[in-house]
Every structure is written in C-alpha cells, then in structure tokens.
Amino acid sequence: MWLDERVNISVKSPVFTTCCAKGKILLPPLQELLPPLNRLLIGMDHHACLFRQNIRMYNSALSFTSIGAKIDDNITGTRGVYTFRIHGEMYHSIGTLLPNDGDHPQFAQIYIYDTDNELQNRMNVMPNLDPNILMELRQMLNDVNPYVKTFRQASDMLRSNQLLDMKMVITDNRTTDSRRYNTPRAAEVAVIMVGDGQEIEPTERDIVLHLHEGGLQRVPEIHRAYASLHYVLMFPRGEDGWMLYLVMKMKKMNQSMLLQ
C-alpha cells in the first residue's frame, strides 16, 4: 500500500480501507525489488532515465494482456490538447496463444510465437524503446516470472511438434497452504493440456487459451492474475493480486474467508 491511499489525513497513523479493510485483511509483505528493476528505478544513468520516462511503454511491451475500453469518438482526434475519454470501465483482454496467419504476434503471443525474433517483435509494437533495456527486463522476467516460464514451456512444446493440439488454463484457485504468500511457481499458476484436456475441468474464473480459437477474451477482474498479467513490472514475480478467499484476522478465530 502507499501512503497516499489512506482515507484520513494523518501521516503518523494512516488508515487504509480499500486494500485491507482497516487491517482486517492479512496482506503479504512487499518483496524487495529485483536488482535490474531497482537499478532502473533509482539510477541516474542514461538508461535509467530513459526507462522512467517510458516506463508504461516498457510495461506494455512485456505485458500478457491489453487494455480495452469504449472510447468516446466525439472527443478523440479533435483540435486542441489531446483528450482521451471513455464510457464505462476499462478492462483487460487476452488473445489466443498463436496469432492468425499473416498477423504479427502481440502481448502474450510474443512469449510463444517466433521467439527467435522476440525482441524485434516487441520493438515492432513499441518501436521507440531502447532494445538493451528491453532485453534486460525480458531476461529478468524469464528468470523469475512463473507465467513467462509457463508460456516458454508451451513454446518449446510447439517447437518440437507443430501439429500439437494444446491449450493453456491460467488457474484462479490454485492450491494454497501455509506458504500461501510465497512467490507462486509455474506449476501453480497455469496448466498446459494436450489433446481434449478432459481430465481437468476449468472453473468459470479460469482463463482458457486455445491455439487459434476463441479470439480476445476478457480477463475476470476478480482473477488472482488480473494485475500480474498486465502490470508485469509491478509484479515481476507473478505475485497474486486481489482475489477471493483472502485471509482475515479475527479476534476469536484464527482464519476466515473474505467472500465479498
């Protein structure tokens, strides 16, 4: 949480409600920043300054999901100061595992398709970014992010057998135990299923990605990976975001489940 998220004016005794319900919710402690990211965030060298100036673009270049909204066309493109207005809420979308024939890979597809040219594929989407910074961030995510590791595994499987029929399920209700706030492992966040995959029945909140079928689908806002799939530089280890069944502190009970 950040100090500016407090609902009172006190700096010495801030009160937070949205994130933890005035301390009733047990939130995991923030982990230390990874060295490459920390250096880019606080450094004063040329690369660090470039990164901070374009931090949103670097995040978008590495994100698994895109942002969607209903844009007010009556405002966009008019003269004067650039204005961007939307109707309703913004949402996150994710596409198929592979692009359609003739299309360039985007977002999550870049982690699987044509990985020999991955850097160039990202630069095609965001051409004004520094390739050296992008390579460093990509390597950082390769090392620690469980979603990246799962997509890399799917890429290796398709590379060895291009006719393989598979799909990926990004699970919402992964198995938890006393280590629930440890960094999730690749095997906990997603399942790669070959063939019909009837041995596993996805839930309504799971994200099921097919090779080509399905098109864009909206990521449920209550999915534990809603934030980490998009804000990869805020959650480089694939940390869980808001989710159902958060643990509460109770005076007479050790644990309860937050359902609403």
Kindly state whether residue 29 falls inside one of the protein's structural domains. Answer: no
How confident is the model over 68-119, as pLDDT tens digits?
A: 877 766 766 666 666 667 777 888 999 999 999 989 999 999 999 999 999 9
Range of lowest pLDDT (73-77, 124-128, 182-186, 231-235): 73-77
171 belongs to a structural domain: yes
Q: Could you tell me how far CA 48 lies from the centroid of its own chain?
A: 23
Q: Quick one: which of 252, 169, 257 has its CA closest to 217?
A: 169
| Total length of the chain | 260
* 4 in a structural domain: no
User: How many domains are there within the chain?
Assistant: 1
Q: How far apart are CA 203 and CA 45, in angstroms?
A: 47
- Tell me the C-alpha distance between 219 and 241, whole Å: 13
Question: Is 252 within the bounds of a domain?
Answer: no
Please write the tens of the pLDDT for every residue from 199-228: 567 778 899 999 998 889 999 999 999 999
Q: Is residue 250 part of a domain?
A: no
Domain that holds residue 195: 34-244
